[in-house]
Structure 1
Amino acid sequence: MGGNESIEEIVAMENHHWYAKFMKECPSGQLSMYECKKLLGLDNPTDQANTYVETVFNIFDSNKDGFIDFLEFIAAINLVIRGKIDQKLKWYFKLYDADGNGTIDKKELLSIFTAIQAINGNQELTPEEFTNMVFQKIDVNNDGELSLEEFINGVESDENLLEMISKSFDLSNVLKIIQSGRRHSV
């Protein structure tokens, strides 16, 4: 290794890099939904890609002002790049819980997995098979809803499910696919 930089110095340099990149793309200091889609190369997104990007945008817009500012952007980048599995699972749960009631029902999971599959393509299971398998494996009280605790404990205790969810719903992979798909389809 080259220098004697501390972790704090490395993180500060990375944050400076992200700040410069963010301000170059968003001179106002705030990323709107429109700018986000433009940044991702989504001029004419499919309905599923549009829904997914809007859902992700709204989750990262933590103060709900309609913009992602630099602190919200850094939080998103840190989650995607450095997030621990339990942090990512909490984020996935929030993504799946479309109505925000604190539980995921089959309709919500089916809806988001259908959107992801439309973007990702070639999945091993259909959205219906995936949804049924998830509920069969981790809905311990069989009430047709997954609480945050059921979701995290169930996914963490099943190696195959953890890998499948991580691979299917990994934000960085999905965004790369959206970007490359848009650029090549024009």
Structure 2
Amino acid sequence: RTRMGQNQTSIKKEKLDDLGNKTHFTQKQLKELNKQFRKESPSGTISQDEFNEAMNLMGVVDPFLQNLVFKVFDKSKTGTITFSDFVNGLSIMTKGTQEEKLKFAFEMYDLDESGYISKEEMTKILESFYKLIGPSDDNPLATFSGKKYDAPQQLVDEIFEQMDVSGDGKISLAEYQEGAIKNPDIIQGLKLFSES
């Protein structure tokens, strides 16, 4: 029994080392996050309902947006979020590089996981963001390239005009990243994910 316990401890250390290499958290932060995660979720996983409750507390009450964020966190596609899934997603949202945050947002927008964002997908997302933030002047999504947009569809058309370089009616990850560098307003919109 002692030996088995030692193995479990060493696996835990290996997992923490692995997460330390893959995330922007220190070992100490990971241990604290693990402690909190285990306290809140003794089963070792978070269900979609539990995740949605947490999102509600953070002010994200739109079920569609909750599902999008859950989908990106649930890397293992099990319908639950493990500690690894949680830490990886949290790391990107709170401490991620611009490139990581762009990839995270791209994965959210790519509803059917085709590797591309269609106009329909982006319209659905922006409609939800507009509902969340409202059409106010300080809405970072309502302004793009120095112009103001009252409706999500107008904004989608402008984004596609500027970002769909290949003209195939869809945006690839490379086009999205390149477009975001050329249009800092997209980066501004991503701050929704990192500032709470």
Task: Give the TM-score normalised by the residue count of structure 1.
Answer: 0.77
Separation in 2, partners of 1:77, 1:161: 20
Structure 1 residue 159, shift from structure 2 partner = 2.5
The one-letter amino acid of 1:145's match is K
Structure 1 residue 172, shift from structure 2 partner = 4.1
The one-letter amino acid of 1:147's match is S
Structure 1 residue 112, shift from structure 2 partner = 0.6
The one-letter amino acid of 2:75's match is S
5+ residue gaps, structure 1: 1-6, 177-186
Per-residue Cα deviation, 1:42-61 (whole angstroms, up to 9, x for no partner): 7xx86xx1011112112211
Aligned to 1:15: 30
Q: Does 1:72 align with 2:85?
A: yes
The one-letter amino acid of 2:97's match is K
The one-letter amino acid of 1:136's match is E
Q: Does 1:136 align with 2:149?
A: no
The one-letter amino acid of 1:171's match is F
Structure 1 residue 160, shift from structure 2 partner = 3.2
Structure 1 residue 17, shift from structure 2 partner = 1.7
Q: Does 1:30 align with 2:52?
A: no
Q: What number of residue pairs does the alignment pair up?
A: 160
Per-residue Cα deviation, 1:126-171 (whole angstroms, up to 9, x for no partner): 21122112111111122211111111111112223432x324xx32
Higher relative contact order structure (alpha carbons within 8 Å, sequence separation ≥ 6): 1
RMSD, aligned α-carbons = 2.2
The one-letter amino acid of 1:23's match is R
Task: Give the TM-score normalised by the residue count of structure 2.
Answer: 0.74
How has the CA–CA distance of structure 1 residues 136 and 117 changed in structure 2, closer, same or farther, with 3 Å as cutoff?
same
SS of alignment partner, residue 146 of structure 1: strand
Alignment of 1:103-118 (within 5 A): 103-118=116-131
Alignment of 1:34-183 (within 5 A): 34-41=49-56, 49-121=62-134, 122=136, 123=139, 124=142, 125=149, 126-163=151-188, 165-167=189-191, 170-173=192-195, 176=196
Per-residue Cα deviation, 1:26-81 (whole angstroms, up to 9, x for no partner): 11111001111223347xx86xx101111211221111111101111110111111
Separation in 2, partners of 1:26, 1:172: 23
Q: Which of structure 1's runs of 4+ aligned residues deviate more than 3 A?
A: none
5+ residue gaps, structure 2: 1-19, 143-148
Structure 1 vs Structure 2: percent identity of aligned residues? 28
Separation in 1, partners of 2:185, 2:179: 11
Separation in 2, partners of 1:153, 1:40: 30
